[in-house]
Amino acid sequence: MRGALSSELKVGLFSILVMVVLSFMTFKIGGLSLNDETGYRLYAWFENTAGVDKNTKVKLAGVDAGRVERIELVEDRAKITLRMFPNVSVRSDSGIAVQAHGLLGDKYLAIYGGTPGARFLADGDTIQISRVPTDYDTLITNLAAMSANFAALGDSLNHSIGTEESREAIAQTIQNIRHITDNLNSVITANDNRIAQLMEKVNTLVDKAVSLTDSANGMVTENRQQVSTAFANLSSVSDTFRQKAPQLLDDLSASAAELKKLMAELHGPAVNTAKELEGVAMRAKTTLDSVSRMTERIDKGEGTLGKLVNDEKLYNSVSGAADGIGRQIAKIDRFKTYVEFKGDYMTKASDGKGAFNVRLQPRDDKYYLIGIVRDPVGNTDTKETVTDVGGVVTRTTEKTTETQIEFTAMLARRFADTDVRIGLIESSFGLGADYHASGGNLVFSADAWDFGKDEADSKNPHIKVGLEYRFFQNLFIDAGYDNVFNRKTGGAYIGGGVRFEDEDLKYLMGSLPSIPGK
């Protein structure tokens, strides 16, 4: 009791120690909240803010950029008020997502995806895009639904393949398709170089066409010369082809034969199968929907998935699977391929016109169309025979119109609902446009080519207008008027075809596991 220090002194020293510790902690903690009233406010709307609280961090490019000031429920959505640090700038096209510091870690809000050049958001603005994290239950439910769909698809495939007849038909079909692609492949491989040249020429052409349209107003003599040069080039391309690629033509003939056979099969005994294929297609669609739904979620829950991948020990298998799916989906997302077979009955020529097209679509607003067409009204071949009989020179000009295989190679850009195409149509320079109505199921098309009037009996360029109606996802019918401005060859046409997206093909062509019938 009677120490050297008085009670007052002891209590005083003790209090100072306590105050030092307390103010140290206060300072350390308060470090964040000292900025309370500085900075500016942004808003974001969320469907689900589970795990986000007042003072939850906001990160931009992984760096602390602010914190959540307020969370309130407005109707059935959460309105989040963000207090951004004053020196932080957020692009107006940025999105915001709830992310986690790991599977068990704290949630934070990540601002992402701002593009350079977009304006910066100011105090009081709202971040327009917001993403909600995947919750694992939904993910698992989707996986379950997906596998159920796979099973159902397998069942129905099995069923349709089950009958000897249809199995044969499908096998035949697949073989045909395979044959065609093989042929096409070998053609392309064999003529790699030439096709490259061709494409180069086409490019040149396109360039010129562009410059041509650019200077449409001042289209004077010099320009005309350029155009004729372009056409000259094009002819030389055709010549080159004709002369130097007999093999190619042979192959193409073979493919065409196969195509014809396929068409026949599609119309003939495969009618039953077609119905079944339709069912398969429906299943495929359901599966696709599931996959795309899941892809969407995985995509949205990027952070969580990312963490899943990080947490190898825990969720190795899950993350592996999810990762794989994600990668595949991502690739497919980026690059779409459509394969199209179609046949039209040309009333004027009383003959069929078959086409096989591959559409490569690297982006939503751009695609390449490559194809072969069996044209019953091909180019006119003018053969000049010079006969020298005893000094009398007789010139005989013989025009021949023959059914021939022609090429389609076009570049297309999409503007809103309209595709604009430019390139080779039936081996001749041309332009085209497609207007998509009714959610893309109804397409109105107009094409113009053969400005050189090389086709038989053509006085004017070849103009074709038509309608295409798509049904059951993969089937379509079309009708229209061909070669509008050339009376001799012009006439109505009607037909139909099949169009597969690469995913459909993938599922149809044997990447499906465990189908007992196989």
Partner 1 sequence: MTSREPRKTVTLLCPVEYLGSLLIPSFSVVGGMIMMLCFTLRYIFTPPFYLRNIFKQMVEIGVNSMPVVLITASFTGAVLALQSHTAFKRFDAETLVGTVVALSMTRELGPVLTGLIVAGRAGAAMAAELGTMRVTEQIDALETLATNPVRYLVVPRFIGGMLMLPALTVLSDGIGIMGGFIVSTRVLGANPTTYMTRTWDFLEMEDIFHGLLKSFFFGAAIALISSYEGFASEGGAEGVGKATTRAVVLSSMAILISDYFLSAWLFK
Binding footprint of partner 1 on the chain (CB under 8 A): 6-8, 10-11, 13-15, 17-18, 21-22, 24-26, 28-33, 55, 57, 102-106, 310-311, 313-314
**Which token pair is 282?**
């429906």
Question: What is the rounded distance in angstroms from the CA atom of residue 125 to the CA atom of residue 40?
Answer: 10
Burial of 133 (0-12, 13-18, 19+ CB in 10 A): buried
Q: Which is nearer to partner 1, 315 or 429 (CB)?
A: 315
- What's the min distance (Å) between Cβ of 7 and partner 1? 4
- What's the min distance (Å) between Cβ of 75 and partner 1? 25
Question: What is the rounded distance in angstroms from the CA atom of residue 343 to the CA atom of residue 490?
Answer: 17
Q: Is the dihedral of CA 19, 21, 26, 32 positive or negative?
A: positive
Question: What is the rounded distance in angstroms from the CA atom of residue 53 to the CA atom of residue 232?
Answer: 70
- 376-412 burial, b if ≥16 CB within 10 A, otherwise e? bbbbeeeeeeeeeeeeeeeeeeeeebeebbbbbbbbb
- What's the min distance (Å) between Cβ of 35 and partner 1? 14
- Residue type at 364 in one-letter notation: D
Q: Which is nearer to partner 1, 33 or 272 (CB)?
A: 33
Q: Which is nearer to partner 1, 105 or 516 (CB)?
A: 105
Q: Which is nearer to partner 1, 28 or 331 (CB)?
A: 28
- Residue type at 414 in one-letter notation: R
3-state helix, strand, coil in the chain (%, to 5): 45, 35, 25
The DSSP bridge pattern shows strands 57-60 and 107-112 to be parallel
- What's the min distance (Å) between Cβ of 62 and partner 1? 14
- What's the min distance (Å) between Cβ of 66 and partner 1? 14
**Angle ∠(356,360,363) on CA atoms, nearest 5:** 150
Q: Which is nearer to partner 1, 315 or 493 (CB)?
A: 315
Q: What are phi and psi of 426, to 5 degrees?
A: 50, 50
- What's the min distance (Å) between Cβ of 181 and partner 1? 47
Q: Which is nearer to partner 1, 229 or 310 (CB)?
A: 310
Q: Which is nearer to partner 1, 32 or 118 (CB)?
A: 32
- What's the min distance (Å) between Cβ of 21 and partner 1? 4
Report in angstroms the alpha-carbon separations of 184 from 44, 394, 496: 52, 43, 22
Q: Which is nearer to partner 1, 57 or 242 (CB)?
A: 57
- What's the min distance (Å) between Cβ of 515 and partner 1? 40
SS3 per residue for 204-243 = HHHHHHHHHHHCCCCCCHHHHHHHHHHHHHHHHHHHHHHH
Q: Which is nearer to partner 1, 34 or 219 (CB)?
A: 34
Q: Which is nearer to partner 1, 21 or 515 (CB)?
A: 21
Taking Cα atoms as reference points, which of 308, 183, 357 lies closest to residue 254? 183
Q: Is the dihedral of CA 304, 307, 311, 316 positive or negative?
A: positive
Which residue blocks in 269-386 are alpha helix, DSSP H? 271-300, 302-310, 312-334
- What's the min distance (Å) between Cβ of 56 and partner 1? 11
Q: What are phi and psi of 259, to 5 degrees?
A: -60, -45
CB 425 within 8 A of CB 483: no
Residue 70 forms beta bridges with which residues?
81
Q: Which is nearer to partner 1, 10 or 119 (CB)?
A: 10
Distance, first Cα to last Cα, the chain: 96
- What's the min distance (Å) between Cβ of 48 and partner 1? 22
- What's the min distance (Å) between Cβ of 94 and partner 1? 24
Q: Which is nearer to partner 1, 299 or 311 (CB)?
A: 311
DSSP conformation letters of 420-467: EEEEEETTEEEEEEEEEEGGGTEEEEEEEE-TT--BTT-SS-EEEEEE
Q: Which is nearer to partner 1, 170 or 308 (CB)?
A: 308
Kind and range of the H or E run holding 44: strand 40-46
- What's the min distance (Å) between Cβ of 11 and partner 1? 5
Q: What are phi and psi of 361, to 5 degrees?
A: -125, 95
- What's the min distance (Å) between Cβ of 140 and partner 1? 19
Q: What are phi and psi of 264, to 5 degrees?
A: -60, -45
